[in-house]
Structure 1
Amino acid sequence: MFLVGLSGGIASGKSSVVQVFRDLGCAVIEVDAIAHEVVKPGYPAYHHIVQAFGHEILLENGEINHQALGSIIFHYSEKLKLLNAITHPEIHKEMLKQGIMKYLVQRYRYVIWDITLLFETKAMLRFLKHTVVVYCDPQTQLSRLMQRNGLSREEAEERIAARLPFEEKRQLAWHILDNSGEWEVTRPQTLHLHSQLEDSLDFLPLRLRLFTTFVGLIYLFSQHLLF
């Protein structure tokens, strides 16, 4: 089994691409959903965030107000680094618990990590065999974002500027899915990528390491019985 990081810019159509992989029966771990889960009351990250950012970011029910927290980290980059330092270790733990071991046992060829800020944080790139970016041209992105979120041109441009430019993501990614045009063009690209990943032999090294470890344990056990 190997890991594939899937990302994209805001309003690029990443969610639609992820749904295609799900429909194909692929294993998908939504890292963004896990990131929201680990900051709920009762999780270690929750207490650290409250200590770092204050009770002003809490809703009346005690949960974190993501809009208030997002406003802080949007305007202060050092606050974003602090939040990442708190949450990333907990996210990694939950990813292992919720999916990776399960999919390994079920012998999936690959697992997709759906990560919005994959290339911005770079924290998880070292775990990945392949990286994918869902791309669309800047004008299409701006138009989609304005229409989808009801934003003015200035507001949309500000949100896009807060993320890593698409061109930089294109340089970092192994695979590019161009969603600038009609969905009828994007979907076949996604199906083709799935075929490439399924045919890849990148899953073999991990299976060989596991097999070698298993054989080694059997040998040690047999030696112990003999002596």
Structure 2
Amino acid sequence: MATILRVGLTGGIASGKSTVQDEFIQLGVPVLDADQVARDVVAPGKPALAQIVAAFGADMLLKDGSLDRARMRQRVFAHPDARRQLESITHPAIRQQMTAWLAQQQGPYCILSVAILVEAGMRPLVDRVLVVDADEAVQLRRLCQRDGIDDSLARQMLAAQASRQQRLDAADDVIVNNTDLATLREAASTLHQFYLRLAAEGAPNAAGLRLPMSVI
């Protein structure tokens, strides 16, 4: 089987990464969402969930036996050691599923959508990195509105990820995502054509296409 172009899509929390991801899906691109993989690996009956209970206690479970994600999120974002312990349980299982998925893909290119691609050391899994960037003030506003949380927790959640500059330093391609959806769609379409061309030319590491685009 021919090797296809592998694009890593990432961005800070509430940057608009999921919206960009959906645009590529609409364009017919195979996309694996790491958030869904992360949910799958801690489903009831999975080894990772048993390890989480052993490490953090049964009070991290809901009545139906599934992980209380809201409670776990509050715990790990308030305690960095707890976050690292959780990641040591979940990241190997997530990476294994991603690697298996990549090996099954066919076509010009595919996308791994991973919010923590940079800080989790997953850059070697992909040929190029597309970063969805947004001003921190925009991220904070969106996050508080989306999750119904206060500014303090929102700032803790941002601080737990790679910095904005760390993501930009790792980027081959950038969409700046601060204003309207129409501009986002145009950016995704432009990058789609660019990635198709790179895949056809067999040049995944050609100079990046940096787009000063915006979206709400």
Q: Which residue of 2 aligns with 1:76?
A: 79
Paired with 1:203 and 1:41, the residues of 2 have a C-alpha distance of: 44
Q: 1:110 to 1:145 in 2, by over 3 A?
A: same
Say whether residues 1:29 and 2:37 are aligned partners: no
Q: Which residue of 1 aligns with 2:143?
A: 145
SS, match of residue 113 in structure 1? strand
Paired with 1:147 and 1:85, the residues of 2 have a C-alpha distance of: 30
Residue 194 of structure 2 is aligned with which of 177, 193, 196?
196
Q: 1:120 to 1:93 in 2, by over 3 A?
A: closer
Paired with 2:114 and 2:181, the residues of 1 have a C-alpha distance of: 21
Say whether residues 1:54 and 2:85 are aligned partners: no
RMSD value over aligned CA atoms?
Answer: 2.2
SS, match of residue 66 in structure 2? coil
Unaligned runs of 5+ in 2: 204-216
1:62-95 deviation digits (Å, cap 9, x = unpaired): 2221122222211222222222221122212323
Please report how far the alpha carbon of residue 194 of structure 1 lies from its aligned counterpart in structure 2 after TM superposition: 1.3
Please report how far the alpha carbon of residue 110 of structure 1 lies from its aligned counterpart in structure 2 after TM superposition: 1.6
Please report how far the alpha carbon of residue 113 of structure 1 lies from its aligned counterpart in structure 2 after TM superposition: 0.6
Paired with 2:196 and 2:99, the residues of 1 have a C-alpha distance of: 22
Give the TM-score taking structure 2 as reference length: 0.82
Q: Which residue of 1 aligns with 2:66?
A: 63
Unaligned runs of 5+ in 1: 206-227
8 A contact 1:38–1:45 mirrored in 2: yes
Please report how far the alpha carbon of residue 48 of structure 1 lies from its aligned counterpart in structure 2 after TM superposition: 1.4
Please report how far the alpha carbon of residue 6 of structure 1 lies from its aligned counterpart in structure 2 after TM superposition: 0.6
8 A contact 2:41–2:93 mirrored in 1: yes
Q: Which residue of 2 aligns with 1:115?
A: 114
8 A contact 1:2–1:203 mirrored in 2: no
Paired with 2:115 and 2:82, the residues of 1 have a C-alpha distance of: 18
Equivalent AA in structure 1 for residue 104 of structure 2: K
Q: Which residue of 2 aligns with 1:101?
A: 103
SS, match of residue 118 in structure 1? coil
66-75 vs 28-37, greater mean Cα deviation: 66-75
Kindly indicate which of the two structures has a greater share of residues assigned to helix. Answer: 1
The total of aligned residue pairs comes to 200
Paired with 1:151 and 1:162, the residues of 2 have a C-alpha distance of: 16
Segments of 4+ moved more than 6 angstroms: none
Paired with 1:156 and 1:51, the residues of 2 have a C-alpha distance of: 28
Give the TM-score taking structure 1 as reference length: 0.79
1:16-48 deviation digits (Å, cap 9, x = unpaired): 111110011000001110111111122111221
Equivalent AA in structure 1 for residue 95 of structure 2: H
Q: Which residue of 1 aligns with 2:185?
A: 187
41-50 vs 17-26, greater mean Cα deviation: 41-50
Q: 1:131 to 1:68 in 2, by over 3 A?
A: same
Equivalent AA in structure 2 for residue 8 of structure 1: G
Paired with 1:56 and 1:81, the residues of 2 have a C-alpha distance of: 19
8 A contact 2:5–2:199 mirrored in 1: no
Q: Which residue of 1 aligns with 2:213?
A: none
Paired with 1:183 and 1:177, the residues of 2 have a C-alpha distance of: 12
Structure of larger gyration radius: 1
Say whether residues 1:160 and 2:158 are aligned partners: yes
Paired-residue identity, %: 31
